[in-house]
Amino acid sequence: MAKSGKSLAWGLTWSIVLPQAVIMLAGLTLLGIRVQNDSVSYIDLPLVQHVVDSFKPGADGGITLEPSEKVREHMAEHPGMWIVARDEAGHAFTHGKPPASLQPLIDRLPHLANSEIHGATEPFDDTMSVRRVEWPTGYLHLMVGGAPMSKSNGLATVIAAYLGITLMLPCIIASLITVPIMVRRSMKIVRQVAKHADAIDVEKRGARLADQTVPREVQPLVRGFNAALTRVSDGYDIRDRFLASAAHELRAPIAILRARIDAMDPGPERTRLVGDVARLWNLAEQLLDLQRFNGDAAACQRLDLAKLASDTVGDIAPVALEAGNEIEFNGPRAPVWVLGDALALSRVLMNLIQNAMMHAGDEGTISVAVNSLGEMTVSDEGHGVPLEERDRIFEPFYRTRPSSRGTGLGLHLARQVVERHGGGIDVTDGEKGGACFRVTLPLADASRR
């Protein structure tokens, strides 16, 4: 089993996401270094949160502060710490003494959003933090100051954490979700080309992939594939010309050999040679059939499969009887109309009958039958075909017995002809223990529809 390749979609995704992450991380690092080198103060964010959690509505609806242990520790550490609170009902709370410079902002506290002021010079009196939180009367607006911290590394960490969570992480997650989707949509045309390539039958000449509709980046691959198809087609053409020439050249020697065998005295050796020459003649004609008939509907004729089979059995019956076989035919009285080439299909049937004669040991009965479904069967009373070899016997030059008189081409050529008629051929167990070859052809009416 071929090993699955790496996903192009995920490869492109990581190629986009990783540089983004590196650039953002580098930016945060540079920002942290710059902040660390500056003299900047700030109110510790956990302290602000502790102050927010310490406010409770009073019994009279006012604002009360119940300092937590952390808040008391900060108040003890920073005696100048101050807190101002306003709610939307007009209640106010003040702890400590805010600097006069911030009084205008305190007056407009209900109109301020979450924000901070970072003092740049000691004693950092203007450093403060504003928060707006939900409150029973709407919102509670807080301003906390007087407890500045000037540890630049701490501020850098806060900024880096804030930007990393609010900017870097969402961008990476969004890229991991959207980029694969966009890449897969862009690769849709590639999947269509692959589907088209998978459906190409190399036996049918001229099949190519369209390269005008694919992206420029994929066009070299499509053109390379088409070039490979052209080379395969050229190889088939060379093979076909060789086989056609060989079949034509074999006709004359086979005819001479047949004439000389006909002049021999009757006997077992003559009978065997007659059968061998008949097989050679049929093989040469089938090679020509493959060159002449390519499955085009224009080359097909409406013919009665039952009559064709009956005539073929009548033609080969003398050879079969002389070889020691009995041969019988069963078919419907009504015509079984199919579309095809009469000579090619007749030689397919003759090939199967000759194959049955050879593998039945020149004895027993060979049964040929046609039914109304377009099926034609040839059964013998030989040893049959082992299950593991039933697919391989249709391969070229394959023989179930190396000592067999056959060439290993007959069944392969028969399958080629049948498939060009849009049908199929297989082998099963015969009713009398031998092999049963079944040819299935589409009916004329069905093919026209």
Phi-psi region of 243 (alpha: psi -120 to 50; beta: other; left: phi over 0): alpha
The DSSP-derived string for 31-64 is HHHHHHHS---EE-HHHHHHHHHHEEE-TTS-EE
Contacts of residue 289, Cβ cutoff 8 Å, sequence gap at least 6: 341, 343, 344, 347, 413, 417
Distance, in Å, from the CA atom of 355 to the CA atom of 46, rounded to the nearest integer, reads 93
pLDDT band of 218, cuts 50, 70, 90: confident
Burial class (CB in 10 A: 0-12, 13-18, 19+), 196: middle
What confidence score (pLDDT) does residue 447 get?
44
Partners of 303 in the β-ladder: 338
Matching residue, tokens 């299950």: 387
Average pLDDT over residues 96-113: 88
Distance, in Å, from the CA atom of 113 to the CA atom of 101, rounded to the nearest integer, reads 19
Average pLDDT over residues 135-149: 85
Is residue 63 over pLDDT 50? yes
Is residue 394 within 8 A of residue 438, CB to CB? The reply is: no
Contacts of residue 178, Cβ cutoff 8 Å, sequence gap at least 6: none
Phi, psi of 214, rounded to the nearest 5 degrees: -95, 155
User: Tens digits of per-residue pLDDT, 353-363?
Assistant: 888 887 776 67
Average pLDDT over residues 430-440: 88
Name the residue ranges covered by the structural domains of the chain: 8-38+156-186, 42-149, 198-234, 299-448
Phi, psi of 51, rounded to the nearest 5 degrees: -65, -45
DSSP 3-state assignment of 378?
strand
Matching residue, tokens 């939900």: 134
Burial class (CB in 10 A: 0-12, 13-18, 19+), 385: buried
In 323-404, which ranges are continuous DSSP H helix? 342-359
Bridge pairing between strands 424-429 and 365-370 = unpaired
Is residue 381 within 8 A of residue 364, CB to CB? The reply is: yes
- Which DSSP symbol is given to 266? S
**How long a stretch of residues is the chain?**
449
Buried/exposed code over 157-171 (b: 16+ C-beta within 10 A; e: otherwise): eebbeebeeeebeee
Matching residue, tokens 């593998």: 359
Q: The tokens of 324 are what?
A: 């020691």
Q: The tokens of 161 are what?
A: 């954490």
Superfamily name and number for 299-448: Histidine kinase-like ATPase, C-terminal domain (3.30.565.10)
Distance, in Å, from the CA atom of 318 to the CA atom of 350, rounded to the nearest integer, reads 13
pTM for this prediction: 0.48
DSSP 3-state assignment of 364?
coil
What confidence score (pLDDT) does residue 329 get?
94
Q: Which tops the pLDDT comparison, 75 or 369? A: 369
Average pLDDT, the chain: 79
User: Tens digits of per-residue pLDDT, 164-178?
Assistant: 667 777 777 877 788
